């Protein structure tokens, strides 16, 4: 679990693609790497590097390696449950991804790692992408207010309360759940009685 945050200011860049799926975010061949080694080098690997492993100079993340806010089109993070897709974004330095829609599992993984999946209406994202196409821009995200400010424009966003609190507090769910141990134990007793086949003999 990451440290919590309430607002973030950074450089926003456009990745003008839809359905940037988990296999593009991190190709499967890199997923055996232990997390401590860092996943940043693998982010969008096959878009960033050619077949010989050379950086493609025109790719947006190679031109702006300090970017921390990524703006993309619909269905971002669709596909696999691999949390490594989020590790790659976070370890690269991303804090926020803005898109019209996200894969459900990706969103949950993102929030569990301090990365905000910021959903805006498609028209807003179109507008932001148009502003960013020529060059990146500084942007500011305020979690408490639910606001993204970029190129002098404000965009309000909705966030489930669960996610907002988790991002702001950097909660570790296991600690929260352990505090409910008596309720879990009571449930388990009842479950054993009603459906003993849950525990194979």
Partner 1 sequence: MTQAPAATAPATLFDKLWQAHEITRRADGASLLWVDRHLVHEGSHHAFAKLAARGAPVAEPQLTYAVVDHYAPTRGRDAIPAGDIRRMIETLGQNAHRHGLRLFGLRDPDQGIVHVVGPEQGLTLPGFTVNCGDSHTSTHGAFGALAFGIGATEVAHVLATQTIWQMRPKTMRITVVGQLGPAVGAKDLALHWIARLGADGARGHAIEYAGPAVRALSMEGRMTLCNLSIEGGARLGMVAPDDTTFAYLKGRPFAPAGADWARAVALWARLPSDDGAQFDREVEIDASDIAPTVTWGTSPEEGLPITGHVPNPAQLPPARAARASEALDYMGLSAGQALQGVAVDQVFIGSCTNGRIEDLRLAAKVLQGRRAKVPGLVAPGSALVKAQAEAEGLDRIFTQAGLDWVEAGCSMCVGMNGDLVAPGKRCASSTNRNFKGRQGRGARTHLMSPAMVAAAAITGTLCDVRPLLEGRV
55 binds partner 1 (CB under 8 A): no
As to burial, measured by CB atoms within 10 angstroms (0-12 exposed, 13-18 middle, 19+ buried), residue 57 is exposed
If binding is defined by CB under 8 A, does position 34 make contact with partner 1?
Answer: yes
* 24 lies in the site for partner 1, by CB under 8 A: yes
Query: Phi first, then psi: what are they for 105, rounded to 5°?
Result: -70, -40
Q: Which of 181, 26, 46 is nearest to 94 (CA)?
A: 26
Map residues 149-178 to x or -, x wherever contact with partner 1 holds by CB under 8 A. Answer: -----------xxx--x-------xx-xxx
Q: Which is nearer to partner 1, 57 or 200 (by Cβ)? A: 200
Rounded least distance, CB 196 to partner 1, Å: 6
Q: Which DSSP string corresponds to 15-34? A: E--S---HHHHS-GGGTTS-
Binding status of residue 144 toward partner 1 by CB under 8 A: no
What 3-state class would DSSP assign to 101? coil
Distance CA(86)–CA(83), nearest Å, equals 5
What is the rounded CA–CA span in Å between residue 41 and residue 192? 47
Shortest distance, position 83 Cβ to partner 1, whole Å: 4
- Contact set with partner 1 (CB under 8 A): 1, 17-19, 21-24, 27-29, 31-32, 34-35, 46, 51, 74-75, 78-84, 86, 101, 103-105, 108-109, 112-113, 160-162, 165, 173-174, 176-178, 180, 183-184, 187-188, 191, 195-200
């Amino acid at each position: 679990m990451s440290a919590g945050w309430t607002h973030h200011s950074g450089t926003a860049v456009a990745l003008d693609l839809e359905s940037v799926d988990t296999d593009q975010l991190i190709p499967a061949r890199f997923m055996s790497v232990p997390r401590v080694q860092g996943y940043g080098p693998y982010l969008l690997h096959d878009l960033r590097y050619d077949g010989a492993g050379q950086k493609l100079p025109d790719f947006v993340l190679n031109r702006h390696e300090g970017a921390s806010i990524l703006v993309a089109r619909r269905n971002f993070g669709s596909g696999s449950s691999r949390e490594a897709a989020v590790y790659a974004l976070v370890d690269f330095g991303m804090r926020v991804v803005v898109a019209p829609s996200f894969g459900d599992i990706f969103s949950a993984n993102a929030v569990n790692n301090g990365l905000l999946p910021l959903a805006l209406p498609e028209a807003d994202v179109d507008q932001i992408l148009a502003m960013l196409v020529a060059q990146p821009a500084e942007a500011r995200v305020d979690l408490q207010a639910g606001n993204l400010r970029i190129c002098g424009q404000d965009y309000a966003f909705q966030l489930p309360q669960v996610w907002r609190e988790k991002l702001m507090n950097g909660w570790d769910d296991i600690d929260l759940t352990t505090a409910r141990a008596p309720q879990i134990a009571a449930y388990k007793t009842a479950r054993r009685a009603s459906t003993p086949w849950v525990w194979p003999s």
